[in-house]
Structure 1
Amino acid sequence: MNPDPFVIAHGCSMGAYHAVNIAFRYPERFGKVIALSGRYDLTAQIGSFRGLFDGHYDRSIYFNTPSHFIPLLTDEEELQCLRRLEIILAVGRDDQFRRNNEELSRALWEKDVWHALHVWDGEAHRPRSWRRMVSLYL
């Protein structure tokens, strides 16, 4: 068991989605989330990546889609927990998921949730870029 109460959620690509999803759903359990080249809406086709649910949509998908539930979140207690979380999103300027990252960033700002969105030059959806990002943000 880790005696340090500061827990970080981190991931790249689909792992970034999972890190953001769990940290945003349970922000009281995390101190920081670092998400690199993530996709936060698995329902929509983004670039060459198709939607993953073949049009199916229900409450479970909604509550596990940060791009959907954050804009509609109104519970002040949950928002306060999110505001205590250190959030770092990073994506490449030419990455297919850039727009989705920018949309999530806008939704967070609209809820007064401070965070950082770092847009890297070029296409950064690659292990070489992720290693550089991790050394800066972790």
Structure 2
Amino acid sequence: MKETYQKWYSPTLGRDIEMLVFGHWGYPILLFPTSMGRYYQNKDFGLTDSVRGFVEAGKIKLYSIDGIDKDSWYAKHLAPSVRAHNHAVYDRFLNDELVPAIRSEAHVDKIGVAGCSFGGYHALNFAFKHPDKVAYMFSMSGAFDVRSFLEGYSDDTVYFNNPVDFMQHEEAWKFNHMKIVLGTSEWDICLNDNIRMANILRARGIHHWLDIRGWESHDWPLWNRMFPEYISQMGL
């Protein structure tokens, strides 16, 4: 499986950003790490290898990006308003720099996004904030309420990056082109988060699949089984 390391300076973030790209051609999937994870985490824990067949066949191309959780939601040394601001800057980097570059390279209007655990939050939040740029959203054991990181603080930046809030007022037509998968399991610590998000989507008339597996825990073996199944249903 072809693997390429990329590092470049992001003007939006004001720092270097790193990424691993897997594959030579195929539909682009932007892959987020879990809480405070790095760009190589999805490789190290087998998620990229779980879809090796699709990558080597040229059906998909994976872009495993770095996160900045240590400077945003998990940055307990910073004021809550600064944590939220820093995440908003990361979102602008994705929307204004990275995703346009991926769309141009792949010659597509929309991409796929995916992630496990807190990476599922990143995938879902980006997809729901920018539905014009996303056709597939695969969240595996995601948690979607960032208020738990903020000691009761709230502002507009928090609201518009907290899907359990802003999605309660969205319109279905913006999202019903999108394949939305919420993957979880009976023993998943994020089971209730996924049921809650599914209920919000259902109330808004937004098509989605809440995939609740059997007695499996919140960990990589579950996600490594989910991911290739979700990719296989893209119809590529």
Tell me whether the two structures share a fold, i.e. TM-score over 0.5. yes
Give the conservation status (yes or no) of the 8 Å contact 1:124–1:130. no
Q: Any idea what the Cα deviations from partners look like across 1:78-111, whole Å, max 9, x if unmatched?
A: x312111110010111212111111110110111
In structure 2, the residue matched to 1:120 is: 213
Q: CA deviation at 1:123?
A: 3.5
In structure 2, the residue matched to 1:93 is: 186
In structure 1, the residue matched to 2:151 is: 54
- In 1, distance between residues paired with 2:133 and 2:108? 12
2:133 pairs with 29, 33, 42, which one? 29
Instruction: Give the TM-score taking structure 1 as reference length.
Output: 0.86
Q: CA deviation at 1:129?
A: 0.9
1:65 counterpart = 2:167: no
Q: How many equivalent pairs are there?
A: 127
Structure 2: runs of 5+ lacking an equivalent: 1-104, 232-236
In structure 2, the residue matched to 1:83 is: 176
Runs (4+) of structure 1 exceeding 4 A deviation are: none
- In 1, distance between residues paired with 2:146 and 2:186? 20
Q: Secondary structure at the match of 1:91?
A: strand
Worse-matched range after superposition: 34-43 or 119-128: 119-128
Q: Secondary structure at the match of 2:223?
A: helix
* More contact order relative to length (CA 8 Å, sep ≥ 6): 1
1:14 pairs with 112, 118, 121, which one? 118
In structure 1, the residue matched to 2:197 is: 104
Give the conservation status (yes or no) of the 8 Å contact 2:184–2:213. yes
In structure 1, the residue matched to 2:227 is: 134
- Shift in alpha-carbon separation, 1:136–1:53, aligned structure 2, 3 A: same
In structure 1, the residue matched to 2:25 is: none
Q: Secondary structure at the match of 1:83?
A: coil
Q: Secondary structure at the match of 2:146?
A: coil
Give the conservation status (yes or no) of the 8 Å contact 1:14–1:38. yes
- In 2, distance between residues paired with 1:128 and 1:97? 16
Q: CA deviation at 1:3?
A: 1.7
Q: Any idea what the Cα deviations from partners look like across 1:12-36, whole Å, max 9, x if unmatched?
A: 0111000000000000101110000
More strand by share: 2
Q: CA deviation at 1:6?
A: 4.1
Q: Any idea what the Cα deviations from partners look like across 1:24-57, whole Å, max 9, x if unmatched?
A: 00001011100000000121xxxxxxx2112111
Q: CA RMSD in A?
A: 1.2
- Larger CA Rg, structure 1 vs 2: 2
